[in-house]
């Protein structure tokens, strides 16, 4: 193992984690002792002009030298990189890596002086619930199905593709969630995220017909208040889901706009006045697109004292924040480019209303240009976590369908050809490409997920419990906020988003994969017990096609992680202390006479050691 110079935005390297504009912050970089580094400078770009400051040796720790240099927080986002000079020339170290050639500033490290996300978000473990499919209370039996619905028994198979897919109605409700919170407690999560709860004409409710009331099919406003009370009584958080890009065509704003071209609601949407046609999400006419160029929309949605964004953050509902649906398309339409204005506006209004609230963006592809702008606190990191993990752990077998024919492999959010199998080096390069273009703060506050209501289930992607355990291990030990889609902890399957919206099999315990539940529970408990897994930096130590080895390090401790998708040669590392195994069952680590520790070669496996 060849040690490389290293820096990231964690507290080991940036002791001041919430700098203010005008501060000067010390940053540290560690380099191997005896390596070709004789001088270190930090290069910053205040007001767009490069400046260099020479670093000094802060300390020598064993076989590593720690250098320290000042960075002025001159701009709301202040960038910096390190220049390492030795006998054989110079190298740059920035968030994109260590290189011996000049590179653009886009991959530089970042200090962000905008107000940070709420403190509680650093320790959150998110549990996503799709209300129609999670649990039914007894009260649900007395509610007639709406006219759009295809009523289904709880055991009725989900139709993953077809015209009936959005209309299958199972009748889950909010009181049903209250009755099942003990399951979440046993699992160890501490934040509940609900997909939309407003009235609509589909089971997913992303086609809102109103924002001023909770869907009576879910129990109405009072049921949300009861759920909030129950969640907060456990010391947990509760997040809602708001769609800022569109409404449903049954929404009263849209029906008024469509019926009268002079209605004040007309400006809330995009209409072709010649034809009467309207802009919609991806051409789905039942989802008319909102026009954020409208001051009236901004008032109704956000800034008015009784605006919908504020109402549900207040008593008696007290949501702890919002996940913003289709944040990537919000405010974008042809020449219109309001996205960053809208993100900043929604965050301002939310944090004015509730200072400790979270604003999280949905983004299915490159999110890097939309973060670090005093808007979204983070994003759902599909491209920088979900897709790489899927492609590394993907099963080579195609699931059998009816009659024994092979179904197509799950795809990543519509990408043709199915999930492509990749080796660890390519997976790490993908993760680093996205991580390097945002601040450490945005990266670690973004949600890392193995799947959601919009994707295939992780069990279907990887094919078996052993590889799902490796995936869950990465979810629990990599930087970022873990998000679990309800049912993944039971080993539920599904080959696309709609197929994955499986009713929770509460009354079918024989369908539960109890080994997978135990693994998730233990991994969440490990994350809660080890500060390095929640707040530490990330240092890669080894990879080969089937193996990842990394350390998570913080001022309060460090852990070593081994993830394997298949058996491979044992890995030998130098420069590590003795270590106790805290997950996976492998023996503890003791350096041999040559100072090397040997990691086991079996696989698939996931192992964690606490470093002395």
Active site residues: 325, 362
Cα separation, 43 vs 88, in Å, equals 20
Beta carbons within 10 angstroms of residue 424's beta carbon: 20
Tokens read off for 228: 């909030």
Cα separation, 432 vs 402, in Å, equals 40
565: which DSSP letter?
S
Which residues, including other chains, have CB under 8 Å from residue 217's CB and lie 6 or more apart? 143, 146, 171, 173, 199
Contact 92, 50 (CB under 8 A): no
User: Which of these, 162, 61, 233, 87, lies nearest to 577 by C-alpha position?
Assistant: 61
Cα separation, 17 vs 116, in Å, equals 9
Contact 240, 319 (CB under 8 A): yes
Spell out a b/e string for 484-510, using b for 16 or more CB atoms within 10 Å of the CB, else e.
Answer: bbbbbbbbbbbbbbbbbbbbbebeeee
Contact 167, 201 (CB under 8 A): no
User: Which of these, 407, 401, 435, 392, lies nearest to 544 by C-alpha position?
Assistant: 392
DSSP characters over 266-332 = GGGB-B-TTT--B-BGGG-TTSBBB-TT-HHHHIIIIISTT-HHHHTTSTTT---EEEEETTTTTTE
Helix (H/G/I), strand (E/B), else coil: 383:
helix
How do 358-361 and 89-94 pair as beta strands? unpaired
């Amino acid at each position: 193992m060849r040690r490389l110079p290293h820096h990231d935005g964690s507290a080991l390297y940036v002791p001041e984690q919430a700098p203010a504009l005008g501060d000067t912050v010390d940053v540290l970089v560690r380099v191997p002792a005896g390596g070709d580094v004789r001088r270190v400078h930090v290069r910053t770009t205040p007001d767009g002009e490069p400046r260099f400051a020479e670093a000094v040796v802060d300390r020598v720790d064993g076989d590593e030298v720690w250098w320290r240099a000042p960075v002025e927080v001159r701009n709301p986002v202040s960038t910096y990189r390190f220049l390492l000079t030795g006998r054989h020339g110079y190298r740059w170290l920035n968030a994109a890596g260590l290189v011996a050639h000049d590179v653009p500033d886009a991959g530089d490290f970042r200090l962000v002086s905008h107000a940070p996300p709420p403190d509680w978000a650093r320790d959150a473990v998110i549990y996503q619930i799709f209300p129609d499919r999670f649990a039914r209370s007894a009260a649900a039996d007395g509610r007639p199905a709406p006219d759009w619905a295809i009523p289904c028994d709880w055991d009725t198979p989900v139709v993953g593709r077809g015209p009936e897919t959005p209309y299958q109605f199972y009748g889950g409700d909010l009181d049903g969630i209250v009755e099942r919170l003990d399951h979440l407690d046993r699992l160890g999560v501490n934040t509940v995220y609900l997909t939309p709860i407003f009235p609509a004409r589909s089971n997913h409710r992303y086609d809102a017909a109103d924002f001023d009331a909770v869907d009576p099919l879910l129990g109405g406003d009072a049921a949300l208040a009861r759920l909030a009370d129950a969640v907060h009584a456990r010391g947990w958080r509760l997040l809602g889901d708001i769609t800022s890009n569109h409404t449903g065509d049954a929404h009263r704003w849209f029906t008024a706009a469509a019926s009268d071209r002079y209605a004040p609601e007309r400006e809330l949407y995009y209409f072709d006045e010649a034809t009467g046609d309207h802009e919609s999400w991806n051409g789905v006419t039942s989802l008319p697109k909102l026009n954020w160029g409208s001051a009236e929309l901004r008032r109704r949605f956000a800034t008015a004292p009784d605006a919908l964004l504020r109402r549900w953050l207040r008593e008696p509902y007290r949501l702890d924040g919002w996940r913003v649906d289709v944040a990537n398309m919000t405010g974008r339409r042809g020449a219109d480019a309001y996205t960053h204005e809208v993100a900043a506006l929604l965050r301002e209004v939310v944090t004015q209303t509730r200072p400790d609230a979270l604003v999280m963006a949905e983004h299915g592809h490159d999110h890097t240009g939309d973060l670090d702008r005093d808007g979204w606190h983070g994003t759902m990191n599909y491209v920088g976590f979900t897709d790489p993990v899927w492609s590394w752990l993907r099963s080579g077998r195609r699931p059998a369908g009816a009659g024994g024919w092979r179904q197509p492999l799950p795809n990543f959010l519509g990408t043709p050809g199915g999930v492509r199998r990749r080796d660890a080096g390519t997976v790490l390069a993908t993760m680093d490409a996205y991580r390097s273009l945002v601040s450490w703060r945005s990266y670690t506050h973004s949600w890392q997920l193995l799947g959601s209501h919009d994707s295939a289930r992780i069990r279907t992607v990887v094919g078996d419990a052993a590889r799902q355990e490796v995936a869950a291990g990465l979810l629990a030990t990599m930087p970022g906020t873990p998000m679990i889609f309800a049912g993944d902890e039971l080993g539920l399957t599904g080959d696309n988003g709609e197929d994955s919206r499986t009713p929770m099999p509460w009354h079918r315990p024989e369908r539960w994969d109890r080994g997978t539940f135990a693994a998730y529970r233990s991994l969440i408990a490990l994350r809660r017990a080890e500060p390095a897994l929640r707040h530490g930096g990330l240092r890669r130590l080894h990879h080969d096609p089937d193996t990842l080895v990394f350390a998570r390090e913080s001022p309060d401790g460090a852990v070593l992680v081994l993830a394997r998708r298949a058996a491979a040669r044992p890995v030998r590392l130098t420069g590590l202390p003795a270590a106790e195994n805290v997950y996976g069952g492998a023996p503890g680590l003791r350096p041999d006479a040559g100072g090397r520790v040997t990691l086991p070669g079996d696989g698939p496996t996931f192992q964690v050691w606490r470093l002395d």
